[in-house]
């Protein structure tokens, strides 16, 4: 029987649920659909899980731009190909769904690439939030468009200053 472990990170944009396999590879990082309070984790004692949580904390406090986490997302071969391509989008930059399809070698796979992007189980680390519409619009994000907007602003090389 494969064992799994869950833990949680309290972030500025909500609680992020982390799920790990028996090797403590990150299988998913999702914002639960329902707002939840920070639950007790079942993998809390693991040094490997604490290392992952530390990297998320560093990302959210602005001191980490890349992650060094063992990943094990579950999906089809095509989805995994898309998710691997997402890992190539640098911090602070965006790409479009059309550019993603082109990089995958076929401009006609734009819908399939967008669908795979939307099924990314490891948000933030596999940066699906960095993919936008060709017109610059913030299209779709499983964690909610308000989170996508926050993440892109957080990663922006020139943060917007409030005049008020």
Look at the alpha carbons of 119, 124, 125, 130 in this order and tell me if their dihedral is positive or negative: positive
Catalytic residue, chosen from 89, 110, 128, 132, is: 128
Let me know if 30 is a catalytic residue. no
What is the C-alpha separation between 34 and 102, in angstroms, rounded?
36
* CA-closest candidate to residue 113, choices 102, 122, 124, 123: 102
C-alpha dihedral, 144 to 73 to 87 to 76, nearest 10°: -100
86 Cβ contact list (under 8 Å, min separation 6)? 100, 117, 120, 126, 127, 128, 130, 131
Q: Strand 131-132 relative to strand 95-96: parallel, antiparallel, unpaired?
A: parallel
Q: Catalytic residues, which ones?
A: 128
């Amino acid at each position: 029987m494969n064992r799994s472990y869950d833990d949680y990170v309290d972030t500025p944009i909500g609680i992020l649920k982390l799920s790990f396999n028996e090797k403590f590879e990150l299988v998913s990082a999702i914002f639960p659909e329902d707002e939840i309070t920070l639950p007790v984790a079942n993998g809390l004692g693991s040094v490997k899980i604490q290392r992952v949580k530390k990297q998320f904390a560093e990302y959210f406090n602005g001191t980490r731009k890349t992650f060094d986490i063992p990943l094990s997302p579950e999906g089809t071969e095509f989805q995994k190909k898309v998710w691997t391509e997402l890992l190539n989008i640098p911090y602070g930059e965006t790409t479009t769904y059309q550019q993603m399809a082109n990089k995958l070698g076929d401009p006609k796979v734009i819908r399939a690439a967008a669908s795979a992007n939307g099924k990314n189980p490891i948000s933030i680390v596999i940066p699906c939030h960095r993919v936008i519409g060709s017109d610059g619009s913030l299209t779709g994000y499983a964690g909610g468009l308000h989170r996508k907007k926050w993440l892109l602003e957080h990663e922006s090389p020139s943060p917007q200053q409030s005049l008020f």
